[in-house]
Amino acid sequence: MSMLTPPGMGGKYRITGSKYPRMRRPRHRRRIVLAAVASVVALGLAGWGTLQLIDVFTGGGTKSAAAARKSGCEHSSAPVKALPKPGQITVNVYNATPRGGLAKTTADELKKRGFVIGKVGNAPAAYDKKVPGAGILVGGAKPEDGFFTVLGAQLKGATSKTDTRKTPDVDLILGAAFKELTEQKDADLALATVSSPASDPACGDLGATPKH
């Protein structure tokens, strides 16, 4: 009996020779492994393709969109022309209402705010008792000069109208709805807002840290 034969076994179970017989692994196990690897690769490719489609339909992804918004915001922040100082504006104050003393008290307040006061009195016949709103600004100034902007901030609801005068003064004609000038702090805040570059709501605060 060969030493390779287990004890108690003989006959047809007897093993002869000096080597164990070679045992091959079943081939179906290899096929299972290959199939699993192929499935993983296929899923990976499908996921990558999905991400590419999302990237295309969302305009290049979050980073690209953010970069585009930032670039657009940088181009939109052009410098704004400085507004004139109150001391550069001469104001004629006229009263178009039946109430007495409005032109004088309003002129005094504007003078405290730094404006140069010109004529003070009753409104010309063309406007006397014909201004239903809070007031109207009349002058030959162009919109880009900023005279109407600075003076208009002192009286909320005032409208403006240009005429053919060549002088840089502006008429403030007080109307029937006039009560008082806008508080100086509110007028200053309004002018500060106008002087700042306009911000695009789509830009948002690109440098801010998002809150969770």
- Could you tell me the CA-to-CA distances from 125 to 96, 98, 117, 139 in Å, in that order? 9, 13, 21, 17
Q: Are strands 90-95 and 116-122 parallel, antiparallel or unpaired?
A: parallel
Beta strand segments in 67-147, E: 90-95, 116-122, 135-139
> pLDDT digit string (tens) for 122-136?
999 999 999 999 999
Q: Which two tokens stand for residue 97?
A: 């209402």
pLDDT for 68-99, tens place per residue? 555 555 555 556 679 999 999 999 999 999 99
The two three-digit tokens of residue 195, written as one number: 């002087």
Report the C-alpha gap between 94 and 123 in whole angstroms: 5
Spatial distance between the Cα atoms of 69 and 209, rounded to a whole number of angstroms: 16
Q: Determine the pLDDT at residue 95.
A: 98
The Cα 147–Cα 40 span in angstroms is 72
Could you report the average pLDDT of every consecutive run of 10 residues in the chain (212 residues)?
55 56 61 71 66 58 55 56 93 97 97 98 96 96 88 96 93 97 96 73 47 44
* Verdict on whether the full-model pTM lies above 0.75: no
pLDDT at position 180 is 96
